[in-house]
Amino acid sequence: MITARRLADGVLRRMGLQKQASAESNESLQAAEIAGARGHGEVPESLQAAEITGARRAVAHLFLKGDGIEVGAGDRPFPLPEGVRCQYGDIRTRSALNEYFGHDRISLTAHVDAQTFAGVAPNSLDFVILAHVIEHLFDPISAIRAAVRTLKPRGVLVCVVPEMEKTWDRARPPTALDHLWADSRDGGESTRLQAYIEHIRYVHPTLTGQHVPEAEIEKSARTGMATGMDLHVHAWRAVDFTELLEAISSSSNFSIECHVPVINENIYVLRRL
């Protein structure tokens, strides 16, 4: 398996640049990793950000070229190599995004729904980027297939997925493949309430320190669903999301080109056949 460090080292060495992910000394990073492994602390946020940025830059330099689109970038667009052209789509308006993020430094050029990619021409793009988006969608299988259809032959879909065991989803059960097949049949209607119940039962206590009584969980979940509360509809470990991709790859016309686990996310590169 390709690691984030190995990927970044190889690309940046070929580019003749200093390693981006090691802006802080290697000794500091290794010491932090050892401390974390021994239960004495976690990797400092600055080093986590450097490691993630290094991995993303490496993936971008290896796989991104030509013209593409990132959907759901918000205020943190995926890094791009020089000369690559990218549009930015979202289902939300600029004013809604400004309000959500609390500032106006938003990447947005088009209205695009990551669930359907309606309005994006098939076979038109060299790349699509979905970073921390797929877990918010009610039907991930259909969304991946829709994204792949917009790609030219040999184009790539970069899909960045949170590693649930290293996020606030860690207490909830991972989304099973059978669940995702059901979502692909009905757009997630039959499992929608389950997502909100899991959020109230497992995620809400982690985020707030407050536990909703078991007898009130479904009521709270239905309220959240009715108001359109934003949440992680699905949660995966790397092994779960890889299983999903392997299950649909042949019928969805893509191969799994690369998987890079880094800090609290998994970066996948899927290539259209």
The tens digit of pLDDT for each residue in 7-58 reads 656 554 544 443 443 343 344 334 333 333 333 334 457 778 888 999 999 9
- Beta-bridge partner residues of 88: 70
pLDDT band at residue 175 under the 50/70/90 scheme: very high
In total, the chain counts a number of residues equal to 273
Q: What is the pTM of this model?
A: 0.86
> What pLDDT is stored for residue 81 in this prediction?
96
pLDDT band at residue 126 under the 50/70/90 scheme: very high
What is the layout of strands, in order, in the sheet containing 67-71? 110-111, 85-90, 67-71, 125-131, 151-162, 265-272, 254-262
**71, 116 Cβ separation under 8 angstroms:** no
* Mean pLDDT of all residues in 154-164: 98
* Mean pLDDT of all residues in 127-145: 98
> What pLDDT is stored for residue 271 in this prediction?
98
> What pLDDT is stored for residue 46 in this prediction?
72
* Mean pLDDT of all residues in 237-265: 97
**160, 266 Cβ separation under 8 angstroms:** yes
User: For all residues of the chain together, what is the average pLDDT?
Assistant: 87
> What pLDDT is stored for residue 25 in this prediction?
32
3-state helix, strand, coil in the chain (%, to 5): 45, 20, 35
Pick the residue with more confidence: 35 or 130? 130
Residue 223 identity (one-letter amino acid): T
d(CA 31, CA 18): 21
Digit-coded pLDDT (tens) for 50-89:
889 999 999 999 999 999 999 999 999 999 999 999 999 9
Residue 243 identity (one-letter amino acid): E
**Exposure letters 169-205 (e unless 16+ CB within 10 A, then b):** beebebbeeebbeebbeeebeebbeebbbbbbbbbbe
> What pLDDT is stored for residue 15 in this prediction?
46
* Mean pLDDT of all residues in 146-175: 97
> What pLDDT is stored for residue 9 in this prediction?
60
- Compute φ and ψ for 16, nearest 5 degrees: 75, 25
Query: Is residue 102 left, alpha or beta, with left meaning phi > 0 and alpha meaning psi from -120 to 50?
Result: left
Element (H, E) at 225: helix 214-226
Please state, in angstroms and as integers, the Cα–Cα distance from residue 222 to each residue in 189, 211, 219, following that order.
13, 16, 5
d(CA 117, CA 143): 8
Digit-coded pLDDT (tens) for 196-239:
999 999 999 999 999 999 999 999 999 999 999 999 999 999 99
* Structure letter (DSSP) for residue 200: I
d(CA 22, CA 28): 9
Burial class (CB in 10 A: 0-12, 13-18, 19+), 165: middle
Q: Under 8 Å CB-to-CB from 256, ≥6 apart: which residues?
A: 242, 245, 246, 249, 268, 269, 270
